[in-house]
Chains A and B, each alone.
Chain A
Amino acid sequence: MSAMTTLAATDPSLVMSVPEQILFWTVGAIVVLAAFALLFSKRAVVTACAIVLVMVGLCFLYFALQAPFLGVAQLVVYTGAIMMLFVFVLMLVGVDISDSFIETIRGQRPLGVLFGLGLLACLGGAVLKSTMPPVQGIPQDPEVSNPSALAEILFSNYAFTLEITGCLLIIAALGAVIMTHRVRLTKRITQGEIAAIRLRDGMRLTPPPAPGNYARHNAADIPALDAGGDVIEDSVPTVLRMRGQVHRLKGVAQDLLPDEVPATRRPDAVPPAGDIPAVAETPQQLAAEAEAQGRKPEAGEGEVKS
């Protein structure tokens, strides 16, 4: 800071202009806040969002420092590709509640604090001891544009390093492919073959009927009725059936059903014991079940959900 103020006296063109200062302090504040959110947030996705925000802020600062290529590369590579992959994995794995705070390695936390303080001491010492070289403006040479100058340095001075890094990345990618590769033990069944099997074995060709068709309520846990008023068990998702969360229709107008429908096939019929667990039927039963599970019966529970 002191170096800048001394230089301001010598060369006015190197002082931050007012708009630049506004930009710097606004973006800086946002970035610092985001960095704190990154440190103290307990939810993985919020942390990822904070990192993205930090990177977008850095990109703005790079632009302000007349390094557009670096800023854009920051955004494309880190925000667009790497953080996107992180978010992708986070969403797939489903880490959205909070990280566990159980130490997996004994003595991990005190060691971490110790190393952190050590790093802080090192960096602090380096920063405090360093002397700022005088500020230099960027040479305004139209012939040497930003990316081409960078390319010149990278591909002449550091060509070998680049090649090595490229090799390393390819090896890593290949390793990832090999490690996640599984040998297929069975023949791959195509969509056409599945259809042929279904046709041959007399299985259902169409998708299962949607729940709630011909029902009073259009909810996934209420079985559909066919045109004859019979319950179609398949129409409720298998998961709900296995959990025993199928709602029987209480309110269906019984007198609308033809008398020939046997009692076992009526919509309110108890399903045959066996593959489908018994379901709480009446509001009283549901309330009792809820109490048994140690939760307060919700208002309206036991009635057909809408």
Chain B
Amino acid sequence: MNGIVLAAATNPPQADFSQDNVWIVIGKAVLILICALVSVIIAIWFERKVIARLQQRIGPNVRGPMGLFQLVYDAMKLLLKEDINVRRADKLVYIVAPGISVAASLMVFAVIPVGGQVKIPFTDISTPLQLTDFPVAVLYILAVTAVGVYGIVLGGWASRATYSLLGSVRSTAQIISYELAMGMSLVTVFIMSGTMSTSGIVSSQEKLWYCVMLAPSFFLYIISMIGETNRLPFDLPEAEGELVAGYMTEYSSMKFAWFFLAEYINMLNVSAVCTTLFLGGWRAPWPLSTLWDGALNTGYWTILWFLAKTWLLMFVFVWVRGTVVRLRYDQFMRLGWKGLLPLALAWIVILTAIRAIDEFTDYHFNSWAVPLLSWVLVVFLIIWYWPIKEPKEDATPAEDVVIDPFADGFPVPPLPGQVLPPSPRSAGEAITVPADTVTLPVVTASEEEA
């Protein structure tokens, strides 16, 4: 393990912000804000288009090329709708809650490295494509997400409605349970990279991405990120069939739009975090990264790879939504607490043991030990939990009771353990047609052709 893993484990270089001044910082912040809002518009269009294709529909196609402006119309409609305030609502909390959601969701991108070091055109200033970074940047992301949940919880509570309250209670329970599994999968990345700064984690993935090296963590993160963003199949806080719209039932117009906005920005956030932590961040995928002395891994090219990976994960979101049905609440909780969490804990213990042996003893693992082990674990789990349809044991007794299906005057299908009397037709008896039945003229093939 001394090759790949340990080399990365000793303080990988962080992004260099030394040349940034106030104007660059403000410029980056404004750019992030604009890009996030534009991405939401694209994301909603993308989701509607892709889900339509998955369901063999066309999707929005009237407004603008390929229906691209549909969302502008939708947004205008939302803005111009009547803004209804529930009379019994807790006024202040009711109005502030959507704001908390949006504000928290917008803060995550501050520490996401969208690209590597670039030179700002027409100047000599070189700066990383990232607003800021500090030694605990990933923990900051977790913290901000935790604050964002308050928007959902307080919004549902302040509406003073049963469905809203149920939605927000579910949401709280969901976030508490799935944030644990998510945090655990992140801890393995910290153990392997030796840092919690996002740019440091990206630079420690120079040789091997963590989605290959830490495959179980990667899959754990993918599952819990869908749970964290309340998306199908984990969209229990807003389950339409059960809770109308969950925590946002009593919200309308712009306040509803804010919740909607926050949900989509959060999708982008977790995708971006997954890209950064597991998919190599802004690094080019393998065959491309070797071309032209790694020129594709520098400058503004890096944005392309980052965006490609993030939108690939956005596609996964939509794909899962179009494929899997919603879980029942108890199934969902069982998956989180009895499935994902013990698995994540066991995986952390294994990894820590490997790291400790490597670090504190004379024995050193081969550099492929961890990736190999992680994939063996993944394959093992898949085989272990693969649903096998056991052949149903025949519970019916050997001799079935023959019933008279017309006993009560109307036909009744047989229950288990009962059989119908043999059909008269199966005995090969000739079916007699009553004399007054009108027989239709039979058209034979030869006549039809003629």
List A residues at the B interface (Cβ < 8 Å): 45-46, 49, 52, 56, 59, 68-69, 72-73, 75-76, 79-81, 84-85, 87-88, 91-92, 96, 143, 145-148, 191
Contacts and interface: CB of A to CB of B under 8 A. Distances in A.
Given A49-B154, A147-B196, A72 B173 contact: no
A91 B179 contact: no
A91 B143 contact: no
Given A45-B90, A148-B135, 12 more contacts: A68-B135, A75-B147, A76-B142, A80-B143, A80-B145, A80-B179, A81-B146, A87-B157, A88-B172, A88-B176, A91-B168, A91-B169
Contacts of A88: 153, 169, 172-173, 176
Interface in B37-91: 90
A147 B136 contact: yes
Interface string B4-48: 000000010000000000000000000000000000000000000
B11 A80 contact: no
Contacts of A59: 143
B368 interface: no
B139 interface: yes
A155 B149 CA distance: 32
- Interface of chain A: mostly helix, strand, loop or mixed: helix
A91 B153 contact: yes
A296 to B, nearest CB: 17
Contact of B11 (A46, A69, A96, A143): A143
Contact of A87 (B142, B144, B145, B172): B172
B300 interface: no
Given A45-B93, A87-B153, A68 B142 contact: no
A68 B143 contact: no
14 contacts: A49-B150, A68-B140, A72-B143, A79-B143, A80-B149, A81-B176, A84-B176, A87-B150, A87-B153, A91-B157, A91-B169, A92-B169, A145-B195, A147-B196
A72 B136 contact: yes
B165 interface: yes
Contacts of A143: 11
A136 B440 CA distance: 107
Nearest to B142: A76
B134 interface: yes
B146 A76 contact: yes
A59 B144 CA distance: 11
Nearest to B173: A88
Given A91-B169, A143-B11, A52 B136 contact: no
